[in-house]
Structure 1
Amino acid sequence: MSLPDFPLAFYPVAILAILLAGISKGGFGGAAGGLAVPLMSILIAPPEAAGIMLPILCAMDIFSVYAYRGQWSRHHLRVLLPGSIIGVALGGVAFGMLSVNLIRLLLGLISVIYTLNKWLRLSERISQRLAMRERAPGPVTGAVCGLLSGFTSTLAHSGGPPFAVYIYSQKLDKTLIVATSAVFFCVGNYLKLIPYYLVGQLNTGNLATSLVFAPLAPLGVWLGVWLHKRVSAEAFFGVSYTLLFISGVKLIYDALV
């Protein structure tokens, strides 16, 4: 397998992006893991960036699920996963039918919206309001959140905010939330292998690139564990979401201009 003819600048950007994704998963709950694809998409086509990242994320997920084995909520997974499956399928259809430029625009919009969501704490506020109700949000809300998470995760490997709206409204223990999140996104990532293969994103060139970058997956997770007690979450997310916002704006500009 030979590597694709990517710009030379792509490789240091990809190294930074993959390490940040691993650090996020290993030390800060994975909330900024969706930064990798937008960053890489500044230099290569978004479908290629997503195709390169998916096998790496699948490898990271094995470590996450093992770390929290048996501690997840089966009930909430049963609520969320059917919608996620539909969202993954719709995301695969989007990759297959939309032009690269339109996907670039969607990716940029998702990146900017998710950054504003973080800065303005929108999903956090929504989940808090839902949690204040006498009855916690039920299967319908969970299915919708699962669908939105699956769709945006398929396009950008970033489905955190819709998932957070539902799961944080359930008043669950922190460990239960993290463990359920690990399984939810692990299942989603492995499901994404099907549409990615069907639309040609898991071609030999992308897989060869994933293989080259694969050692960064455990290194990034280990760095996250090491940084967990040394760097505040606010500082890490401040840098990550600033990069995500800049990447999103650049992608929107490139798509429109």
Structure 2
Amino acid sequence: MFELNLMFFAVAIPAVIFAGISKGGFGSGVAFASSSILAIILSPGQALALMLPILMIIDLATLKPYWKRWDWPRARLLILGAIPGVILGTVLYRVTNDDVLRLLIGAISIGFVIWHVARAKGWIGGFTRQLPPSAGLFAGLVAGFTSFVSHAGGPPAAVYLLSQRLTKTQFQASTVLVFWVVNIVKFVPYAYLGLFTWHTAWANLLLSPFALLGAWLGVWAHFMLSEQVFFRITYVLLTLTGSKLIWDALA
């Protein structure tokens, strides 16, 4: 059991605010950085369990500004694909240990940064055509799995949604809807695996106001600020935390 001490709150408060900003304004793609940050001071299971209710609170806070502004056919494909992905994540969690989870979370963090740098440098070309519905289901499957093991479902979902030529707000609203549903689906196996405790619930209660603050800041930033600075900061955070998690897992 982790202690609710000064060190915990010094790390957890910025992490949940960051998650709120990401989910509220920048497509949720990098909200999983909060789990990576928390996994530095907590076990992976504790970090995942602590963040899920926080993410669900942020989902509720960000649904209203984007209500019915999503692209339902594309969002539905991702949701349908995510359900078996969550099941796969549940199976993996039952047969693995903390170091494997640290390695997965760290690898996903570093892989995310490499993919975005490669796109920015032009090493990976943009989409010349819309991906077919089957790609949406597959992206949902990957998103469901990575969301379960590290709350990192945003990137695979974004790959599919970006190919569909959605508007900025359609993209954001579709992402909010998809992960509102996926997080509800994940809650059941998380509870079944015993990840939630009264201790994590108390921590969630204390951190909830900061999550809502982050969500409000994210919605404001979506309409007012450029994404470049936000994502540059995110890449640094993911590189540092991902490298630390991989080191801890292998050591």
TM over 0.5: yes
What are the residue-to-residue correspondences of 1:191-210 with 2, within 5 Å?
A: 191-210=185-204
Structure-2 change in CA distance of 1:231 and 1:80 (3 Å)? closer
Relative distance call for 1:146 and 1:227 in structure 2 (3 A) is: closer
Contact kept, 8 Å, 1:6 with 1:44, in 2: the verdict is: no
Cα deviation per residue 1:34-72 (whole Å; 9 max; x = unaligned)?
Answer: 110110101110110010010011011012222111222
Residue of structure 1 aligned with 2:246, choices 240, 252, 256: 252
Unaligned stretches of 5+ in structure 1?
none
Structure 2 counterpart of 1:13, which letter?
V
Report the equivalent of 1:27. Answer: 25
Distance 1:218 1:245, change over 3 A: same
* Matching of residues 73-152 of structure 1 within 5 Å: 73-121=71-119, 128-129=126-127, 132-133=128-129, 136-152=130-146
TM-score by length of 1: 0.89
- When structure 1 is superposed on structure 2, of 222-231 and 169-178 the one drifting more is 222-231
Counterpart in the other structure of 1:232: 226
Query: Structure 2 counterpart of 1:9, which letter?
Result: M
Preserved contact between residue 127 and residue 166 of structure 1 (Cα < 8 Å): no
Between 220-229 and 48-57, the greater mean CA deviation after superposition? 220-229
RMSD of the alignment, in Å? 2.1
Q: Following the alignment from structure 1 to structure 2, what is the Cα–Cα distance between the partners of residues 126 and 184?
A: 26
CA distance in 1, matches of 2:104, 2:112: 12
Unaligned runs of 5+ in 2: none
User: Are 1:61 and 2:59 an aligned pair?
Assistant: yes
CA contact (8 A) 1:7 1:43 kept: no
1:87 Cα offset (Å): 0.8
State the alpha-carbon separation in 2 of the partners of residues 127 and 151 from structure 1: 26
- Is 1:190 matched up with 2:190? no
Higher mean displacement: 243-252 or 232-241: 232-241
